[in-house]
Amino acid sequence: MDYRQMKNQFIQRKRIRKEHFDYSTKGDYFITICAFENKALFGYIKDGKMVKGTLGIIGETWWHKIPERFPGVTLGDFIVMPNHMHGILTLEGQSRSFEGNRGWR
């Protein structure tokens, strides 16, 4: 995929955030992280059980590090599936601006 195709793909994406909602507001948030093109990048199912691949392990590792970087965040349940991940996190308050943390990778 070249730059123009990728740029057009993002231009045409449906907006999934609620308009005028402040996502730094304290509360519980259900997070879904999807793999590109719905591919099984995070692992596979064997004998009815999820076997995490390298990217699934990396995703889970970084999920558990979120409270280290954002002390006002507590983590709820988290699950890795072959082509997506689900997690619940709770924002305890507005102690930090999430805008200022965009460089964290």
| Predicted TM-score of the model (pTM) | 0.70
- One digit per residue, the tens of pLDDT, for the chain of length 105 reads 666 666 666 666 667 778 888 888 899 999 999 999 999 999 999 999 999 999 999 999 999 999 999 989 999 999 999 999 999 999 987 644 555 555 544
CA distance 52 to 40: 10
Q: Which amino acid is at 34?
A: C
CA distance 77 to 87: 6
| Dihedral sign, Cα of residue 7, residue 63, residue 74, residue 37 | positive
Please check whether residue 36 is in contact with residue 84, taking contact to mean a CB–CB distance below 8 angstroms: no
